[in-house]
């Protein structure tokens, strides 16, 4: 991750956690390393960016998932921003 951060010093780099990210370390370690929450919303004039965490922690199955806490948060964001365009980013497909 540090190589990517050094390559983009002027911009902000956002992580959408996926299965490869939690293979060697925990989600808590990733939050501490990146300084970013597992999932977040960024409101811009044109749209709201929602970055999700679809990683399973320490799992043999590499398919994506979202815990109930994050699902509740996502529902809340959808209600909060109602008519605004939502751009959803995730490592795994969300359908």
User: How far apart, in whole angstroms, are the C-alpha atoms of residue 30 and residue 26?
Assistant: 6
CA–CA distance, 41 with 50 (Å, rounded to integer): 5
- The sheet carrying 47-51 orders its strands as 40-43, 47-51, 85-89
Residue whose token pair is 């370690």: 29
6 falls in which pLDDT band (50, 70, 90)? low
For the chain, which domains are there? 37-95 (3.30.750.180)
Beta-bridge partner residues of 23? none
pLDDT for residue 58:
67
Q: What pTM was computed for the model?
A: 0.76
């Amino acid at each position: 991750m540090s190589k990517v951060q050094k390559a983009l010093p002027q911009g902000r780099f956002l992580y959408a956690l996926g299965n490869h990210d939690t293979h060697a370390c925990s989600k808590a370690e990733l939050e501490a390393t990146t300084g970013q929450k597992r999932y977040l919303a960024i409101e811009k004039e044109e749209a709201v960016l929602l970055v999700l965490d679809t990683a399973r922690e320490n799992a043999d199955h590499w398919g994506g998932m979202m815990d109930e806490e994050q699902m509740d948060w996502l529902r809340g964001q959808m209600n909060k921003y109602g008519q605004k365009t939502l751009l959803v980013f995730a490592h795994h497909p969300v359908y």
